[in-house]
Structure 1
Amino acid sequence: MRAFGTDFAVPPGYLNTPSVGIPPAPVAEAVAESVERWRTGATRPGEFDPYVTRSRAGFARLLGVDPGRVAIGASASQLIANVAAALPAGTRVVAAEGDFTSVTFPFAANPGVTVTEVPLELLPERVEGHDVVAVSVVQSADGRIVDLAALRGAAEAAGAAVLLDATQAVGWLPLDVAWADWVVGAGYKWLLSPRGCAWLYVRPDAHERTRAVAANWYAGEDPWASVYGLPLRLAGDARAFDLSPVWLAQVGAAAALEYFDGVNLAEVRAHNTGLADALLEKLGLPPRGTAIVALDADPQRVAAAGIVSSVRGGRVRVGFHLYNTVDDVERVLRAFE
């Protein structure tokens, strides 16, 4: 099918983007071409550097930040560990109750840190008395969206640092988050990239509060001059927190994030939430203005209706992205007949 200016081989009823996004044809073709080069012995390590540069710049554009403030990695939790491991003993972190554990586990794994969970809706008013806030912009389990304006105001008033996980938001929800200390995002969901690519925005004044827990040659000021011997010589910008790239993932991400340059995210948001809210309305439920919907439904009946979805927190989770249509809404409704 064709949607938002490109072609997708997405099957009817595919509503599992919160788990795995479907790549546009040019993204899949770029990865396939790279696999063929690898298969035939034509690959050279240095050829992947431009792809990393392109994906880094693409993520930066989505956030409206300087590419030099963006680190690349393989997963959200691995990048968040750079933040969590740097926190001194006695640090108090507040998080949303039931948030995805890739957000909370890195902090909980630091023995000197206390993590307190509160309901998402109460998070802004519970910031006072804490040093760090860590939360997903959009909740993985049910699509609830944190009140970013209220959170920013509360954090600034309390002098608390903020880490945002934008994994379930970036790619469909226009974001104004450069004010946060750190923003992480994985690419294989709404950004339609292969699994194995993620990015971390580090605000300039948060650099010294971030630790390169997986310091490696690629995090050097000049990676190809950092492959042997001491002393430690990390980059002076956010590249100091880079992980050696997952090559094929970066190839796909470079193409995918450049595709998003030509996409109006406000239109994507309207499309996605329009479908999600139409489903809720037909089920007699109030609209929620988010692309992810959690339903009290029988997973087997949903699957029998031709829907690809996930089960999260005991509920069927569906997500609507730019390649979904009204036909997908009707398929879900058939599971309730």
Structure 2
Amino acid sequence: MIPSPAPQTQPRDFASYFPPTSGYLSACTGGLPPLETVRAGHAFYDDWSKGALDARAIGAAAERVRGLYAGLAGVPASRVALGSQVSQLVSVVATGVPDGGEVLCPTGDFASLTHPFEQLAARGVTVRYAPAASLAEAITPATSLVAFSLVQSATGEVADHAAIVEGAAAVGAQTCVDLTQSLGWLPVGAADFDYTVCHAYKWLCSPRGTAFLTVREGLDDTLTPLAAGWCSADDVWSSCYAGNTPLSAGTGRFDLSPLWPLIAGTEEALKLFASLDARAVHDHAVALANSARQVLGLPAGNSAIVTWPDPEGADLATMQAAGLVASGRAGNARVSFHLWNTPDDVELLARALGR
């Protein structure tokens, strides 16, 4: 667990950080931008249109983003790489799986996490699946890596990560954890895992296209920087051309060139999360989710994501017709609750479904 930061002065409700909205129940699909992120995006395009972009300043902002994410994930900045897609970063982790090894994943986990490992068959690597709820028990001495989402996209199920880490350590296996559906509402970071990946556009409310990889100290040299480029060095401006292309001493060797239009907005979003009490954010989101579960006749849970069977999509269609933004995954209807949501959103859900 990441210890909650010292409580900060906060508004009466978290929604004041965001443009006014109502009935948006889909952080698990894509977060909403904080007001400061919107302003930063406009400022970027204003500067670009005037020919006033400063590449070095954008690079400095990217380093601040690295530091902010490191703080949220509970690891040193030297352990963080910046990318743009989870699957690309998982592909780097996949280079460290030994020939003939086994990767264990939850049944039905998100493809961006599992798909890169399935491409290793030519090296004799197998991917085995087990239910998320019993993943720790499914680990065997043949397991090289356990790769799982901390929170399952299709169901909202929260993994028993402590038991999985213990089970992996007992057989000498490593762990790779996708924090995309958790970091931002669930105060569990990267320090307990060998590798983590996270895209910031969901619960961290950043523009889509900024993702992060963390690598435990001592494991950088076991991975291959498949997409190494000019930003893979510690001094990027002296490493632009062939003949002097050193790798960063740390996890920055796996960096991709940052997507310039997104950096300032991502920085503002991560600054917001760094200023908040992580436990208060968690309690706010889960309390609203449990209010929705009560409306739906479901037992209380520990996730900010609420799902229920909707194989024909009837409930999803009803919610959408009522103006709610929700989603459907794997035969389930899916809603979620985050900083901008209030009890009014639960009431809108109840009215839409006639509960």
* Cα distance in 2, alignment partners of residues 5 and 301 from structure 1: 25
Structure 1 residue 265: Cα displacement? 1.2
* Cα distance in 2, alignment partners of residues 259 and 231 from structure 1: 38
Structure 1 residue 138: Cα displacement? 0.5
In the alignment, does 2:36 pair up with 1:23? no
Aligned to 2:18: 8
In the alignment, does 2:230 pair up with 1:217? yes
- Count of equivalent residues: 337
RMSD: 1.5
Tell me the secondary structure at the aligned position of residue 123 of structure 1: helix
Opposite residue 162 of structure 2, the aligned amino acid is A
Opposite residue 320 of structure 1, the aligned amino acid is F
In the alignment, does 2:233 pair up with 1:254? no
Tell me the secondary structure at the aligned position of residue 204 of structure 1: coil
Tell me the secondary structure at the aligned position of residue 81 of structure 1: helix
Opposite residue 319 of structure 2, the aligned amino acid is V
In the alignment, does 2:135 pair up with 1:126? no
Counting aligned pairs with the same residue, the percent is 39
Tell me the secondary structure at the aligned position of residue 37 of structure 2: helix
* Cα distance in 2, alignment partners of residues 255 and 216 from structure 1: 26
Retained in 2: the 8 A contact 1:85–1:106?
no
Aligned to 2:163: 150
Aligned to 2:352: 335
Aligned to 1:316: 333
* Cα distance in 2, alignment partners of residues 226 and 95 from structure 1: 38
* Cα distance in 2, alignment partners of residues 123 and 5 from structure 1: 36
Pick the aligned partner of 2:57 from 47, 59, 63: 47
Any residues of structure 2 matched to 1:166-205 within 5 Å, and which? 166-205=179-218
Aligned to 2:324: 307
Structure 1 residue 216: Cα displacement? 0.4
* Cα distance in 2, alignment partners of residues 140 and 5 from structure 1: 24
Tell me the secondary structure at the aligned position of residue 143 of structure 2: coil
Pick the aligned partner of 1:274 from 259, 275, 287: 287
Aligned to 2:108: 98
Tell me the secondary structure at the aligned position of residue 268 of structure 2: helix
* Cα distance in 1, alignment partners of residues 16 and 221 from structure 2: 42
In the alignment, does 2:96 pair up with 1:86? yes
* Cα distance in 2, alignment partners of residues 34 and 205 from structure 1: 37
In the alignment, does 2:127 pair up with 1:108? no
Deviation string, structure 1 residues 139-187 (Cα, Å, up to 9, x no partner): 1111100001111111111111000000000011101431211111111
Retained in 1: the 8 A contact 2:15–2:340?
no
Structure 1 residue 326: Cα displacement? 1.0
Retained in 2: the 8 A contact 1:60–1:66?
yes
Pick the aligned partner of 1:207 from 220, 227, 233: 220
Structure 1 residue 330: Cα displacement? 1.4
In the alignment, does 2:90 pair up with 1:77? no
Question: 1:23–1:2: structure 2 CA closer, same or farther, 3 Å change rule?
Answer: farther
Aligned to 1:68: 78
* Cα distance in 1, alignment partners of residues 17 and 135 from structure 2: 40
Tell me the secondary structure at the aligned position of residue 133 of structure 1: strand
* Cα distance in 2, alignment partners of residues 121 and 88 from structure 1: 26
* Cα distance in 2, alignment partners of residues 122 and 252 from structure 1: 39
Opposite residue 26 of structure 2, the aligned amino acid is N
Tell me the secondary structure at the aligned position of residue 30 of structure 2: coil
Tell me the secondary structure at the aligned position of residue 131 of structure 1: strand
Structure 1 residue 11: Cα displacement? 2.0
Structure 1 residue 6: Cα displacement? 4.3
Opposite residue 85 of structure 1, the aligned amino acid is T
Give the structure-2-normalised TM-score: 0.92
Retained in 2: the 8 A contact 1:87–1:209?
no
Opposite residue 48 of structure 1, the aligned amino acid is I
Aligned to 2:4: none
More displaced, 103-112 or 64-73?
103-112
* Cα distance in 2, alignment partners of residues 88 and 116 from structure 1: 15
Tell me the secondary structure at the aligned position of residue 205 of structure 1: coil
Retained in 2: the 8 A contact 1:90–1:114?
yes
Structure 1 residue 201: Cα displacement? 0.8
In the alignment, does 2:252 pair up with 1:235? no
* Cα distance in 2, alignment partners of residues 71 and 274 from structure 1: 33
User: Could you list the runs of 5+ residues in structure 2 that have no partner in the other structure?
Assistant: 1-10
* Cα distance in 2, alignment partners of residues 259 and 29 from structure 1: 14
Structure 1 residue 83: Cα displacement? 0.6
Pick the aligned partner of 2:278 from 265, 271, 274: 265
User: Could you list the runs of 5+ residues in structure 1 that have no partner in the other structure?
Assistant: none
Retained in 1: the 8 A contact 2:106–2:129?
yes
Structure 1 residue 85: Cα displacement? 2.6
Question: 1:5–1:305: structure 2 CA closer, same or farther, 3 Å change rule?
Answer: closer
